[in-house]
Amino acid sequence: MIELRNVTKNHEGGFTALEQVDLQISDGELVFIVGGSGAGKTTLAGLLIAEYKPTSGTITVDGTELGALKKGKVPLYRRKLGILFRDFRLFPEKTVYDNVAFALRVVGEPSSSIRMKVNAALRMVELADKGKCCIDQLSGLEQQKVALARALANGASILVADEPCGNVDPVQSRELIELFCRIQSRYQKTVVLLTHDRELAESFGKRTVYLQRGRIVNDVAAVTADEEILAEAAEEAAKAATEEAVEAPVEEVFEEAVEEVTEEALEDPVEEVFEEAVEEVAEEALEDPVEEVFEEAVEEVSEEALEDPVEEVFEEAVEEVTEEALEDPVEEVFEEAVEEVTEEAVEVVAEEAVEATAEPLQTPADAPAVEETAVYQLPTWTAEKAADGETMEVRSANISTDALESVLAELFAGEGLGGVFDAPTESASDAPRADHEEETK
């Protein structure tokens, strides 16, 4: 245990470095002594390592009262201590191993014991693989670790470190303090860390004593185990809340923001009006996401395609044909066809009639002799109407030359067939002679 009772230290010239300091540090405890420049930190460290004697008061370390300690006993007392300074105080020309072994060799420690203690100390400070390295090959943090290994090599139960982070950067400072905490926890060492970095000290939750102008102004106990558990639980809860916020979709975040604005709008009518506009925009945005916008574009294209598909193009063509057909119905088409057939038939009839003039019709042998008159036989032809299926038939007929000329005259005049072939005509052999003669006339 370390105990200071009403300790005052005056330096030469009457300067008071410490005044009426009362402090107790238990075995195996880690304590931060925090203060700015001139607060008395270095003077306190000097008193703990028996460099100074107190002007008044008493200092007791592991049962040894330092004010009454004789000068010749100081080295023996310091073997209980591990002392670190901000400037490392290493031998740059020696290896890591030799720097750690130096104090043991001075006190006459056997080589086998030195080897064992040095290797153990290097493992404690996590430099087991650096024993053969030179000091100038190490970083500032590693050099301070070598100094710490040297302080631990003699089996010191108390570590006193005056500004151990003075020559390392902030990141390395935290790593070094974490190392001190591990050593204190694993090996039950009493650790006194004197530093000006208040924020760094407070971040570890250890006991912190505040010095100001040589007086202790505050002594904050370390965070208990229960408090540490609560702090860890709070950190985990905050982390979980952060993860949930990250996982929350954009819509939920937006809705929460809208709800907050809505609550404010209830307190302010003008903001509420604005909020209504925001809600409308939000609803439209929710109802019309990017996918829906794309779907609407597809639907528009689909509607245009449906308005003029291939089938409809075909239907339009059919409608055009149908309209043309309506303008020229079947009856009219049939009439045109009949007219064409009739004209062709008339031409054929006329040609055959002309040819028939060369061959007179033969009369039966037993027919009575009649006056020779040229009689011609017209061929039979048929024209069918596609619409109603009616058939118009022109049969063979005996006709005189004069009658034939009259018929042909009427045909070529465009008057049509008239009623000449409406019914079958009696043959020349069956007609009475008187009628025949009349017809010839």
User: Domain boundaries in the chain?
Assistant: 2-224, 248-287, 330-440
In the prediction, which pLDDT does 97 show?
96
In 124-198 the beta strands, taken as DSSP E runs, fall at 158-162, 190-195
% of the chain exceeding 70 in pLDDT: 51
Nearest to 138, CA basis, from 92, 171, 101, 86: 92
- Asked if the model's pLDDT at residue 130 lies above 80, the reply is yes
- Asked if the model's pLDDT at residue 337 lies above 90, the reply is no
- Asked if the model's pLDDT at residue 325 lies above 90, the reply is no
In the prediction, which pLDDT does 87 show?
84
In the prediction, which pLDDT does 373 show?
44
DSSP letter, residue 94: S
Beta-carbon contacts of 420 under 8 Å, excluding residues fewer than 6 positions away, are 397, 407
Beta-carbon contacts of 206 under 8 Å, excluding residues fewer than 6 positions away, are 30, 31, 32, 181, 222, 223
- Give the amino acid at 239: K
% of the chain exceeding 90 in pLDDT: 43
Q: What is the mean pLDDT of the chain?
A: 74
Q: Which range, of 19-33, 207-221, 259-273, averages the lowest pLDDT?
A: 259-273
pTM (2 decimals)? 0.52
- Asked if the model's pLDDT at residue 3 lies above 50, the reply is yes
Q: Which range, of 25-29, 36-40, 220-224, 348-352, averages the lowest pLDDT?
A: 348-352
Q: What is the mean pLDDT of residues 187-212?
A: 95
DSSP letter, residue 95: B
- Asked if the model's pLDDT at residue 185 lies above 80, the reply is yes
Residue 312: pLDDT band with limits 50, 70, 90: low
Q: Which residue has the higher pLDDT, 406 or 178?
A: 178
- Asked if the model's pLDDT at residue 424 lies above 50, the reply is no
- CB count within 10 Å of CB 324 equals 9
pLDDT in tens, 222-247: 876 555 555 666 667 777 766 665 55
pLDDT in tens, 72-124: 999 999 988 999 988 888 999 999 999 999 989 988 899 999 999 999 999 99
Token digits of residue 438? 């009349």
Annotate 167-199 with DSSP letters as a single string: TS-HHHHHHHHHHHHHHHHHH--EEEEEES-HH
In the prediction, which pLDDT does 278 show?
56
Q: Which residue has the higher pLDDT, 368 or 106?
A: 106
How far apart CA 349 and CA 355 sit, in angstroms, is 10
Q: Length of the chain, please?
A: 441
In the prediction, which pLDDT does 277 show?
57
- Asked if the model's pLDDT at residue 250 lies above 70, the reply is no
Do 73 and 137 meet the contact criterion of CB atoms below 8 Å apart? no
Helices (H), 268-400: 269-287, 290-307, 310-327, 330-356
In the prediction, which pLDDT does 427 show?
43
Token digits of residue 371? 């006056």
In the prediction, which pLDDT does 440 show?
45
Reported as half-sphere exposure (CB side, CA atoms, 13 A), residue 348 has a value of 10
Class of domain 2-224: alpha beta
pLDDT in tens, 395-417: 444 555 666 666 566 665 554 44
